[in-house]
Amino acid sequence: MMSVNQQQTSKLLHNKFVVVLGDSIQRSVYKDLVLLLQKDKYLSLRQLKSKGEMSFEQDCLVEGGCLSQMTNGTEYREVRQFQSDHHLVRFYFVTRVFSRYMESIIEDFRHGLKPDVVIVNSCVWDISRYNSCWLEDYKENLRKFFDALSESLPEETLVIWNLTMPLGQKIKGGFLVPEIEHKAPQLRYDVVEANFFGGTLADAYEKDVLDLHFQFRFSLQHRMKDGVHWNAIAHRRITCLLLQHLAQAWGVILPSRPITVEEERHSTAVNYNDVEEFFRNSQSLPRFLSDNRPWQQSYLCFHYRHPHHLEPYREDHHHYVMRNRHTRHHYAPYTHHRSKARRDY
């Protein structure tokens, strides 16, 4: 695990179309990625809590949100998109891993622009809002989702299934309407069971699995007071894990950089729950985990391996990721001369 800055993120995702699917946690994953593509800053508390706003850091609300009815119901919709000359990132708010709405999203992939990366999670709403006996429905919907995704996306698309992060013993949130409050004490255990089936099935379909539940099991100090959401430090850590995994999957050496004593102090001393802005004008990034691997290269220097001859996958490089083992053919446009100056989205 390493710290990643704006310039590295922009280079790694150059000419890439990234789609994020999921609930409010995944929306914050999207927001942190959009922010890091533009500047070395953290999400503010207001940005983390906001939903359905017209614009966030130069993105736009495409559908739903404040353009429609703002509710906590299962029919709530929110589609966001950030677009620059060389980046396209899109977010879909979903409350069920497979539904008519999810089918329409996948149909867009089938007939429209194919994403290079799909980052997805759907769990807490699935197991709490639709059926008290959720297990069989959830497993069946997972199968339908992965079947539809596999049929609609090219092999080169990298699909990452995020396991749901640990819930608190006492929770509250938009999904927890009064009718299901009695489920709250059991929900954190249900998430563990749902994660097992989701992760196992995703791996069986040769999708990549990022185990955020395991990764954050000892980082509960970064969970917000509602017992569900997480602070800006946690979300930057998620972004770094995702980017590191993308780099390895694409055969790109993503170098680490020196960490200052000041950055280390800030990353461990700040209680984000007690402040509204975290590093409002800071340009620094904290270290989350150290990485002293021998293949590290100089800071801000990218080195590319041939995309068809990637090094064998090594388990010690990714303790938190289940990974399919087939060679992933990948086109890296930033390593070749291009006749056009930009990609037309």
Least confident piece of the model among 61-75, 201-215, 324-338: 324-338
Tokens standing for residue 106: 């996948």
How many percent of the chain have pLDDT more than 70?
72
CB atoms under 10 Å from CB of 54, counted, come to: 10
Nearest Cα to Cα of residue 333 among 15, 5, 9, 96: 15
Alpha-carbon span 329 to 90, nearest angstrom: 23
Where would I find the H helices in 42-123? 45-49, 100-111
The predicted-structure confidence for 158-202, as pLDDT tens digits, reads as follows 999 999 999 998 888 766 777 777 777 899 999 999 999 999 999
Two structure tokens written together for 212: 């955020």
pLDDT over 90 (residue 254): no
Q: Which of 88, 3, 91 has the alpha carbon at shortest distance from 37?
A: 88
Q: Is 76 in contact with 65 (CB distance < 8 Å)?
A: no
All domains of the chain in start order, with CATH = 6-335 (3.40.50.1110)
- Give the C-alpha separation, 246 to 244, whole Å: 5
- Which pTM value belongs to this model? 0.78
pLDDT tier for residue 2 given thresholds of 50, 70 and 90? low
Take residue 69 and report the two structure tokens written for it: 């009815």
Confidence of residue 251 (pLDDT cuts 50, 70, 90): very high
Q: How many CA atoms lie within 13 A of 209 on its CB side?
A: 23
Instruction: Output b/e per residue, 264-299; b: 16+ Cβ within 10 A.
Output: eebbeebebeeeebbbeeeebbbbbeeeeeeeeeee
Question: What is the per-residue pLDDT across 95-153, written as a single tens digit (0 to 9) for each?
Answer: 999 999 999 999 999 999 999 999 999 999 999 989 888 999 999 999 999 999 999 99
- Encode pLDDT of 304-317 as tens digits: 333 333 344 344 44
- The lowest-confidence range among 47-51, 59-63, 71-75, 303-307 is 303-307
How many Cβ atoms are within 10 Å of 166's Cβ, its own excluded?
Answer: 22
Q: How many angstroms separate the first and last alpha carbons of the chain?
A: 32
d(CA 284, CA 344): 33
Q: Element (H or E) spanning 127, and its range?
A: helix 124-129
User: According to the model, what pLDDT value does residue 3 have?
Assistant: 83
